[in-house]
Amino acid sequence: MSATHCRSFNLPFRLAAIASVILTSASAIAAESADAQKAGASTQPVVVTATRTAQPLSQAASSISVLTQKDAEEIQPITFTELLLDIPNVDITSFDSVMNNRISIRGSGDREITYLIDGMRQDNQTIGGNRPSGIFMDSELLKQIEVKRGGGSALYGNGGIGGTIAVETKDAADFLRDSDKDFGATLKAGYVSDNLEWQKSAYVYGRTELWDVVAGVTRRDSGAATSSETGHRNTADVDNDSTSAFAKATLSPLPEHLLQVAYFYDIAHNDSFFRSGRIDKYRYEQHRVSGKWEFEKNDWINLKTALQYAKSEFQFEGNRAGLSKDDFDSVSGNIQNTSHFSAFGTHELTFGGDFSKTSQNGQQMSLSGWVPDGSRPDSDGFDGGFFIEDQYVLNDYLSIVPVLRWNYFKRESNESYPSLSDSKVTPGVTLRVTPMDSLLFWGSVNAGYRPPILDEMYFRMTYPDEGWTSIVVPNPDLKPEKSVNYEIGASALFANLADEGDELSVKAAIFYDDIKDHIFADVLAFDPENLTMTFHTYNLGHVVNKGIELSGSYSLGNFRASASYGYLHSEDKETGKRIESNTPQSANLRLSYRINEWNVEPWYRLHWAKGGTTAKISGETVALKNYATHDIGMMWTPSRTGFVRLQAGLAVTNLTNEKYWAYSGSSFPTWGFARGFRAWLSAQF
């Protein structure tokens, strides 16, 4: 199918037609399946981001999407954020490097999203100058990703106006999920032509009734990426690499206790050598150590507590800007308890608190050694709070979930900039109506609160770049963002519709995010005569993000299908103008079918996005066209032979070689990749 035809065809109607074909042919597919699912065996994942307690996805009264390790295995993503393109109203920047993978949800940027890894909040250190995003999580470690769209400040603290992304890493049991063994090792190698990436990984793991241990390392080496604009690679000579080491031990000495310790080490280099003679070298190194303890005694005591220390260093070296480095340290922790009791209904009461303390400083190399760098002054931040939430079930049909949180923050610098501190109470409430076990309606109102991060207040820079000079002006007078998120939705889970063992899951939501004092980074001044662009972070008085989201999945035997659609309108209410940085409409489709006789599972993926105009770039807006990309692939999973079990995968991305420029959730759009080829092979011993 031609790219022109893809653009001209109305995609929502196309998805409806495909869904109709899927449903009408379901019986035939069931007849072909040798191991169709038995009735009642739900494939719904368990999620925690909606209430901080576990529940099936179909019962979560919130807009949540889940991605699994199988999704990562299929596409062989360059970074884990590439997987998020399948989620409605989610935009990402170029994902050709671990240092460039920022995310936008419902029009809210990466600074307005809460990131959790194994339940631990990750401090947002991004925005300043060339500093990378800091979302370091290799896709080989992924067990599950939850993406909750909509405000999460009431539960998870300062930030999270746009949503929450929770990553769960693998245990030994996940590596051994299709094996009867208790110990093993996996070796894997893969190649991605998009950016000439070679990926190698090795993991060892073991489990008993008392403990679960996994450790390993992943290495990625890549070069220049192919742009869909030209079909050719970047003209710069690019040399990128990243190494991710991971170890996690979980111990259950007694049935009511669980102890876990994890260590993450990540290091990445991005080096670019331009034809103009300019040389840029980036280096990022991060250590994270975390521990948690869970204690479940009875209905009144279900205690969870965790602590994390993170230390990272970012270095930039250029033949025009010299050598500089920035150090970041953070300590964070959380504690919560859940009690179950009855009083005019049943209650699941969860209460607790959390904190995060961050510090950062910048230095530059001089003739006498490292000296303080004025671009990133020594500064500290503290965020903390307490929350209480009650999942109150009045009867079989009606429940209400109120939540209340007290938030506090403080920002201060050792320079002449003023410090900033404040506190705020953020309430929320969700009403759940379940007229039948398979059907859920909900409505929610949640307050949000996001103080500015350190770089938004204190970072400044003057940087020469290919004849131009970029200037960043600090703004220590920023106000915290305040928001109210309104959402109504419905979800349904049905089984045995077309045949015994099938399952249909659908979800729909309408949202309205009202944000006051929205913090926005944009071009403050553009001077073509002096070749300067001045950037500034400031408060927009009143921003509204509103839209709809639809999603559904269907499974029957070996057949799987999922589809989603998102509509988003972001508007500056003071000017009445649309904020031109987010994809206005997008849709996704995934199909797969396992052929047991050959041990293969072919799959297909479609991503469509509506174009529009961007924010001003170099003084002008840019028109983006509608586009659609098609990916196909196949996984091969033969039965174990002797002591080795092999798995392999092949994929072709952007099959039609569509030329497209995509919104990225920031001022600048991103060119996509041209047609690419991906392959991987793993051996489990």
Full set of structural domains in the chain with CATH: 3-684 (2.40.170.20)
Give the span between the Cα atoms of 530 and 211, in whole angstroms. 64
d(CA 87, CA 66): 9
> What percent of the chain is modeled with pLDDT above 70?
88
User: For residue 604, what are the contacts with CB-CB under 8 A and spacing of at least 6?
Assistant: 589, 590, 591, 592, 630, 631, 632
Give the pLDDT band (50/70/90) at residue 432. Answer: very high
Distances (CA, A) of 55 to 49, 50, 60, 66, 437: 9, 9, 7, 13, 14
Section 15-38 average pLDDT: 40
Task: Report the predicted TM-score, pTM, of the whole model to 2 decimal places.
Answer: 0.88
- Residue 623: beta bridge partners? 613
Give residue for tokens 């576990």: 54
In this structure, which amino acid lies at residue 478? L
Compare 274 and 546 and report the one with higher pLDDT. Answer: 546
pLDDT 10s digits, 293-322: 999 999 999 999 999 999 999 898 888 778
Does the pLDDT of residue 173 top 70, yes or no?
yes
Q: What is the pLDDT of residue 101?
A: 74
Please give the pLDDT value at position 208.
95
pLDDT score for 307: 97
Nearest one of 452, 422, 623, 413 to 536, comparing CA atoms: 452
d(CA 399, CA 443): 11
> If you ran DSSP here, which 8-state letter would residue 174 be given?
H
Most confidently modeled of 35-44, 150-159, 576-585?
576-585
Band (616; pLDDT cuts 50, 70, 90): low
Burial 28-47 (b: 16+ CB within 10 A, else e): ebbeebeebbeeeeeebeeb
Q: What is the pLDDT of residues 581-611, one digit of tens each?
A: 788 999 999 999 999 999 999 999 999 999 8
| Residue 319 CB contacts under 8 Å (≥ 6 apart), including other chains | 277, 278, 279
Question: Within a 10 A sphere around the Cβ of 365, how many other Cβ atoms?
Answer: 15
Q: Does residue 485 carry a pLDDT above 80?
A: yes
Query: What's the pLDDT at 661?
Result: 82
Confidence of residue 499 (pLDDT cuts 50, 70, 90): confident
Residues 6+ apart with CB under 8 A from 30: 36, 498, 499, 500, 501, 502, 556, 557
Identify residue 1 by its one-letter amino acid code: M
pLDDT of residue 95: 64
Asked if residue 124 has pLDDT above 90, the reply is no
Query: In residues, how long is the chain?
Result: 685
pLDDT confidence bin for 5, thresholds 50/70/90: very low
- pLDDT range class, residue 666, cuts 50, 70, 90: low
Strands (E), 208-255: 211-222, 237-251
Tell me the C-alpha distance between 610 and 11, whole Å: 10
**Predicted confidence (pLDDT) at residue 454 exceeds the cutoff of 60:** yes
In this prediction, residue 294 carries a pLDDT of 96
**How far, in Å, CA of 513 to CA of 113, rounded?**
14
pLDDT at 41: 46
| Residue among 521, 500, 583, 571 at smallest CA distance from 542 | 571
Whole-angstrom distance between the N-terminal and C-terminal Cα of the chain?
Answer: 43
Average pLDDT over residues 378-401: 95
User: Mean per-residue pLDDT for 218-239?
Assistant: 80
Least confident of 110-119, 234-243, 330-339, 443-452: 234-243
446 pLDDT more than 80: yes
